């Protein structure tokens, strides 16, 4: 078989890409993050104790082109990397890249060549440029005991990285799609506490079919938990909460292009079901449309009889207009807000502040905003009431600081910001147990059998490689969940498969 050989990596040769951290990436070929040679099929890389990197080219049917043999050795002597991930197209040229943490904690990336390998230079991930126009490199990543590449976690279209500290705190580093960081290199805190209890965290992409990247985490006892991303740099509530209606004869209206664009009685004329008190609807998403009873929100969801359609939020038995942690049916046009007065304080997060935001619990000032200053929310929750508004917003200021501020100061007419999830240290959704059998590795490379759904893979202590084929729905994650499908042997020789 003729094959373009990858270019050997050169970890000792660093270069600094010359672009601003605020630039965004151009369009490119955009190979999937699991596909290294752009043949449309997911591939694997294994690293052994000597640091050899071996590429296994997938055949698109859940196996490998070259069977159990390494398709090509990419490089060697890479045992010094503390972490290595495949984030997708990190630098915006359209090819799948590789990001690594060196032994000294420096973060570097290698540009993919689209034929199964990477260009030889290790590029520094740049934070900014100093007064003398010298690059400021990203360092200190040896503080993290785990790094995963979730794809686009914050909804801006560019790949990101998630890392965990020894304290159990997990943080998001937002990529700009051009090999650097979006807005500021300061991480966004995603969770704490419970994350210490996981021996493995896997970033499979979207596994529940809502279009948002998710995480899977395994405890040492083999219990697997799903953390559903909200597409806005946080998590949404686990499992999916069902809601009732408070009056009889509530119509559920069929979707159509006009209705989906602007839900209203006129645009959604076809009734597919009727709800009465006691009936529960499972929301899929919500969006603004025709006002009913002062409420502009419509909810798209599934009825107890399996019918899917639109219901006006006014009829749903909930105290506020917008349902909590139900994503927007389309990405909202406005994701950044201004403040309407001078001297608005942004305070650093801490466990007490996160539990109940208030001026007493959130005392460390990290930024001060003035009229017209921008603030990008991540999530919101109730806390101390300020001028009649109980909501506090956690987000990123125009100066790149991540922290809390009362929603009262946001230039928006309602107490609660639309289409923004509630902040919580979610415990996730239970998937199942028995996953400790994959003691030699649990990982994901996206869609491995070309069915359009993301899969999960694991290596047993015996070296057997198994794949679990994703279903794309949040109830039963895998079509072959009883033990998966064995697709290889001899994989225990690798200390990292990615």
Secondary structure (H, E, C), 343-392: CEEEECCCHHHHHCCCCCCCCCEEEEECCCCEEEEEEEEEEEEECCEEEE
**60-72 pLDDT tens trace:** 999 999 998 989 8
Total number of residues shown for the chain = 498
pLDDT at 233: 77
Nearest to 212 by CA among 288, 162, 151: 151
The stretch 125-154 carries a mean pLDDT of 91
- 412's tokens: 């928006």
**C-alpha triplet 307, 309, 310: angle, nearest 5°:** 145
Higher pLDDT, 170 or 421: 170
pLDDT at 185: 65
**264-315 pLDDT tens trace:** 999 999 999 999 998 988 887 788 899 999 999 999 888 888 788 999 999 9
Q: Which of 6-20, 66-80, 251-265 has the lowest mean pLDDT?
A: 6-20
pLDDT at 241: 66
pLDDT at 30: 41
pLDDT at 387: 93
Distance CA 404, CA 52 (A): 45
Please say if the pLDDT value at position 251 is more than 80: yes
The stretch 117-134 carries a mean pLDDT of 87
User: Considering the chain, what percentage of its residues have pLDDT values greater than 90?
Assistant: 53
Q: Report helix, strand or coil for 473.
A: coil
- 121's tokens: 């230079």
Distance CA 289, CA 292 (A): 9
Nearest to 194 by CA among 179, 213, 174, 215: 215
Higher pLDDT, 440 or 11: 440
């Amino acid at each position: 078989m003729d094959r373009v050989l990858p270019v050997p990596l050169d970890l000792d040769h660093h270069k600094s890409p010359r672009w601003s951290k605020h630039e965004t990436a151009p369009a490119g070929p955009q190979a999937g993050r699991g596909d290294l040679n752009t043949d449309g099929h997911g591939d694997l890389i294994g690293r052994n104790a000597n640091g050899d990197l071996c590429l296994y080219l997938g055949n698109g049917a859940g196996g490998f082109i070259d069977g159990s043999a390494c398709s090509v050795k990419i490089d060697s002597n890479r045992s010094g990397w503390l972490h290595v991930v495949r984030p997708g197209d990190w630098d915006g040229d359209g090819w799948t890249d590789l990001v690594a943490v060196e032994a000294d904690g420096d973060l570097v990336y290698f540009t993919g060549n689209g034929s199964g390998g990477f260009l030889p230079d290790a590029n520094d991930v740049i934070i900014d440029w100093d007064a003398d126009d010298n690059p400021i490199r990203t360092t200190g990543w040896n503080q993290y005991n785990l790094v995963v590449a979730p794809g686009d976690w914050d909804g801006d279209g560019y790949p990101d990285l998630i890392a965990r500290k020894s304290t159990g705190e997990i943080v998001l580093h937002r990529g700009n799609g051009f090999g650097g960081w979006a807005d500021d290199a300061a991480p966004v805190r995603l969770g704490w506490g419970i994350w210490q209890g996981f021996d493995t965290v896997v970033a499979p992409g979207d596994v529940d079919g809502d279009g948002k990247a998710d995480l899977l985490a395994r405890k040492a006892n083999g219990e697997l938990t799903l953390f559903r991303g909200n597409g806005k740099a946080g998590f949404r509530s686990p499992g999916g909460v069902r809601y009732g209606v408070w009056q009889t004869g509530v119509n559920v209206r069929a979707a159509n292009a006009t209705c989906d664009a602007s839900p209203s009685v006129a645009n959604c004329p076809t009734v597919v079901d009727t709800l009465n008190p006691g009936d529960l609807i499972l929301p899929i998403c919500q969006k603004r449309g025709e006002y009913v009873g002062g409420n502009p929100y419509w909810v798209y969801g599934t009825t107890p009889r399996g019918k899917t359609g639109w219901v006006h939020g006014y009829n749903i038995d909930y105290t506020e207009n917008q349902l909590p942690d139900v994503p927007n049916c389309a990405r909202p046009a406005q994701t950044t807000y201004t403040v309407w007065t001078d001297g608005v304080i942004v305070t650093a997060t801490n466990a007490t502040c996160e539990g109940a935001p208030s001026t007493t619990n959130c005392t460390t000032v990290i930024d001060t905003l003035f009229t017209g200053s921008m603030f990008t929310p991540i999530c919101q929750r109730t806390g101390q009431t300020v001028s009649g508004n109980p909501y506090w917003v956690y987000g990123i200021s125009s100066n790149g600081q991540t922290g809390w501020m009362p929603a009262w100061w946001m230039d928006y007419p309602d107490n609660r910001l639309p289409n923004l999830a509630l902040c919580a240290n979610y415990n996730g959704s239970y998937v199942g147990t028995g996953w400790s059998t994959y003691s030699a590795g649990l990982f994901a490379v996206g869609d491995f059998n070309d069915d359009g759904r993301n899969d999960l893979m694991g290596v047993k202590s015996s070296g057997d490689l198994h794949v679990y084929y994703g279903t794309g729905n949040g109830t039963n994650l895998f079509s072959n969940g009883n033990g998966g499908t064995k697709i290889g042997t001899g994989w225990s020789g690798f200390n990292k498969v990615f």
